[in-house]
Amino acid sequence: MTELIVKNGFVYDPLNRINGEKMDISIRDGKIVESVKDKANVVDASGMVVMPGGVDIHSHIAGGEVDTARLLRPEDHVKDVEVKTALTRSGVGYSIPSTFTTGYRYSRMGYTTVMNPSMAPLHARHTHEELSDTPMIDKATYPLLGDWWFSLEHIRDGLIEENAAHIAWMLKATRGYAIKIVNPGGLEAWGFGRNVHSIDDPVPNFGITPREIIRGLCKVNTLLNLPHTIHLHTNNLGQPGNYVTALESMKCVEDLAREDRPVIHITHIQFCAFKGADWGSLSSGAEEISNYVNNHSHVTLDMGQVVFSDTTTMTADGPFQYGLYQLTGNKWVNHDVETETSGGIVPFRYKRSSAVHATQWSIALEIALLIEDPWKILMTTDHPNGGPFTSYPKVMVWLISKGAREKVLSKINKRARKKSLLPSIDRELSLYELAVVTRAGQAKALGLKQKGHLGVGADADIAIYNINPECADPAKKFVAARKAFKNAAYTIKSGQIVVKDGEIVKPIFGKTYWVDVKTSMPHDVNDDIKKKFREYWTVEYENYPIREGFLHSPAPVAVKAGV
Amino acid sequence: MFKFPIEGKNVTPDIFAEKSAKEIADLEVWEGNRKRSLGELFDIKNDSSASEEFTIKIEGDVSKVRNIGFRMSMGQIIVDGDAGMHLGEEMSGGAITVSGNAGSWAGSQMKGGTIEIKGNAGNYIGAAYRGSTKGMNGGKVIIHGNAGHEVGCFMRKGLIKILGNVGIFAGVHMNNGTIFVQGTSQGRAGAQMTNGKIILAGYSEDVMPTFTVDDIKAKVKVNGEKIEGPFYRFIGDLADKGKGKLFVSKPKNPYLSSYEKYLE
């Protein structure tokens, strides 16, 4: 393979503490190396910002909900069409793009790694087919295990080590990367038309509580030494007053923290940070959440930023999604996935003129700016729930520019503007901090050691943006900065130039990561599990686990469990 | 008669105006999956005879030509024959007249202007795009013959007048506007309507059970014109908390007399 050298750019590599230094990055055989020979191809990054390729810890790009949403919304397709070119395939979709379009659009923005955060184990096969058809990026997916019957039974019976062995098997069977938990207990209750309303509300038929599920899986995660922590979508999502539940969920594993390392990730925190008794009195719980996170180091969060647009909500939280249907009257889909989980899809338009939506817009930014340590709060929109991932450049400039925020503030609902904390927050993230929340911090939280940085040995995934920090302050010239983030000057993936000036110049496919956990306890599937499959699933056990050969480009991450 | 569907989005007064016949002949169209030029498929002649408005006259069988009049805002199109699907889609002004029949989706998402079809038309007249909730938002569609199903789906404003018969679900999901049907209706008119007015002056196979009878009106106004009744006036669709008005001819629907006891 070839050698490449990125010369003379302003490098932001927080994991190696490089803050805008002018330096060269050398690449050979898809990895970053100390140096290359003079014959290497040169990418002239003079006057430009060089960062590791973008990493997205939570974006719905494949699986049952995503595909059903595509079927649900032909009107989302017709308004956003990408015509086939000599190098790229055609595609459609504004809030839920088709697979090829998804890959191209991420790559054009300089993103190189994306995590699909929600996969019903039953849908794993289809999820991997879609991921295999998503070009340009490395990816992984998280199986939903928080309402998984076997796990609930193990937790009920206090069998933590057995549960750990079982979950290790499940991660392999579904080729998953992390333990995803959505509205723990609530999804199981939804199978009976019910929900849970606090972390101590017992789950029907199992007699355990969401608190026990979160703690049980947190312990399993630690026993298995998984690279990421448990990834939690809290109970009571989207309900006024739910910031209390978010705090309780973070508190309930405080004692399980080890040496200042995170043990829990709360996803799309904006939807869990509502104060108030009802929609009329909705206000921001950002201060309480930020205060807690500033004083604890066992938690990481991602934003779930709202963008004013016509988007599509999709989560595994069936009861919540049904509530959204009742609120909006929009067309809707809802699933109960056998014994595993639930799901729902409802189109949703966020409006500047709505006091509630405008407050939501403000909340995620308040949290991102009030939390002092950027390593704790990562940038996402929970694509497409808060907005399409193509709005990331907008969100990035809101984080680095008070002027950009004020422009939006001046146009939002007056009541929300009065309540917003943003006018009193002057903080603007530096380019270094921006690199943390969009790549370095994301990779660190995920435990992806070769991503999110530009040190020797890292994967050569690089984004070069046409921003010259010496000539123009991106906080002031935020329109230009946004355009620069939207169309990367270069995207380099695995050492190859794949995007130039926001256009795909080399279509490629990335890898699919999954955790291959070695336990000392054997976790072969026993007869009891096989029997349960026969009795309760529509799929025979033999057809359930996914063979490694099924994945286009598998990249197992070897993990040695402590059990 | 064309063998493959023709995508005719360029056939509008807005695009033709100020162009020479040669420039018009060079306009791009799709024949199936092949890019062609308009001149390869049509003879184009400049007619210098005086006409108040910019007029495009189309002769021949264009029943396979879609999207004639797409997004037009002015001028006239006269189709001497049958027109294809999506006639006048998203138009905001001007007038289209068709001497023969038109396909489905005529007037889809229109905001203004007039479409007049002397023959029959297909389904989804003045309808929203599939999956969208935003339908016709102004303008007039007049069909002298029959129309198909789901006429005025998600309509928000404007008038659809059908002098012949309609299929099922006329005015489905209607949010406002007026639909008048002189002939028969195959039923389920006004399903899921939240507002607006539907007048069925002929026989209707049913009235949705989620509509409630409100009054008997001697006449009803359609676009300023008084239509002689008497009509039963129903309010619905109650399943959607609708306040739409459905007028159904009393003499043409004697079976509806069973509703009269609720009018005391």
- Distance to chain B for A133, nearest Cα, Å: 25
Cβ(A54)–Cβ(A437) below 8 Å: no
Cβ(B74)–Cβ(B94) below 8 Å: yes
* B30 in contact with chain A, both atoms CB, cutoff 8 A: no
Confidence check: pLDDT of A1 > 60: no
Determine the residue of chain B that is closest to A329 in CA distance: B240
Partners of residue B127 in chain A, C-beta under 8 Å: none
Rounded distance between C-alpha atoms, residue B221 and residue A17, angstroms: 76
Task: Tell which B residues from 34 to 73 touch A, by Cβ distance under 8 Å.
Answer: none
Length of chain A (residues): 563
* B2 in contact with chain A, both atoms CB, cutoff 8 A: no
pLDDT single digits (tens) B30-63: 999 999 999 999 999 988 776 778 999 999 999 9
Other C-beta atoms within 10 Å of B223: how many?
11
Strands A264-266 and A230-233: parallel
Please, which pLDDT band fits residue A438 given cuts at 50, 70 and 90? very high
> How many beta-carbon contacts under 8 Å exist across A and B?
15
Confidence check: pLDDT of A79 > 60: yes
Cβ(A252)–Cβ(A199) below 8 Å: yes
For residue B38, report the phi and psi dihedrals to the nearest 5 degrees.
-55, -35
Report pLDDT for A336.
87
ipTM field: 0.88
| CA-to-CA separations, B219 to B160, B214, B224, B247, B250, in angstroms, rounded | 18, 15, 12, 10, 11
Average pLDDT of chain A, as a whole number: 96
Length of chain B (residues): 264
- Distance to chain B for A314, nearest Cα, Å: 17
pLDDT single digits (tens) A106-158: 999 999 999 999 999 999 999 999 999 999 999 999 999 999 999 999 999 99
For residue B198, report the phi and psi dihedrals to the nearest 5 degrees.
-125, 130
Mutate to test the interface with A, among B30, B124, B132, B153 (most CBs of A within 10 A): B132
Establish if B183 belongs to a structural domain.
yes
Rounded distance between C-alpha atoms, residue A139 and residue A106, angstroms: 12
* B224 in contact with chain A, both atoms CB, cutoff 8 A: no
- Distance to chain A for B130, nearest Cα, Å: 6
Chain A contact residues (CB < 8 Å to B)? 72-76, 78, 329-331
pLDDT single digits (tens) A281-303: 999 999 999 999 999 999 999 99
Q: What is the dihedral of CA A99, A104, A105, A107, to 10 degrees?
A: 130
Establish if B58 belongs to a structural domain.
yes
Determine the residue of chain A that is closest to B128 in CA distance: A75
Confidence check: pLDDT of A52 > 80: yes
Contacts 24+ apart (CB under 8 A), B257-264: B259/B207, B259/B213, B259/B232, B260/B213, B260/B216, B262/B212, B262/B213, B263/B213, B263/B215, B263/B216
Cβ(A458)–Cβ(A31) below 8 Å: yes
Partners of residue A330 in chain B, C-beta under 8 Å: 133
Establish if B147 belongs to a structural domain.
yes
Cβ–Cβ gap B130/A75 under 8 Å: yes
Establish if B22 belongs to a structural domain.
no
Instruction: Specify the pTM.
Output: 0.94
Establish if B28 belongs to a structural domain.
no
- Distance to chain A for B256, nearest Cα, Å: 31
Cβ(A160)–Cβ(A215) below 8 Å: no
Cβ–Cβ gap B129/A76 under 8 Å: no
Task: Tell which B residues from 115 to 144 touch A, by Cβ distance under 8 Å.
Answer: 128-133
* Number of domains chain B contains: 1
Cβ–Cβ gap B129/A74 under 8 Å: yes
Report pLDDT for A523.
66
- Chain centroid, CA A268 distance in Å: 8
Report pLDDT for B264.
76
Report pLDDT for A539.
86
Establish if B175 belongs to a structural domain.
yes
pLDDT single digits (tens) A494-537: 999 999 999 999 999 999 999 999 988 776 667 778 888 889 88
* B241 in contact with chain A, both atoms CB, cutoff 8 A: no
Establish if B32 belongs to a structural domain.
no
Mutate to test the interface with B, among A68, A75, A79 (most CBs of B within 10 A): A75
Partners of residue A73 in chain B, C-beta under 8 Å: 131
CB-closest option in B128, B131, B240 to A73:
B131
Burial level of B49, CB count in 10 A (0-12/13-18/19+)?
A: exposed
Rounded distance between C-alpha atoms, residue B72 and residue A211, angstroms: 61
Note down the domain range covering B222.
52-263
Establish if B7 belongs to a structural domain.
no
CATH number at residue B115: 2.160.20.60
Q: H or E segment at A419?
A: helix A414-419
Residues of chain B with pLDDT under 50: none
Which of B55, B90, B89, B91 is closest to B73 using CA atoms?
Answer: B91
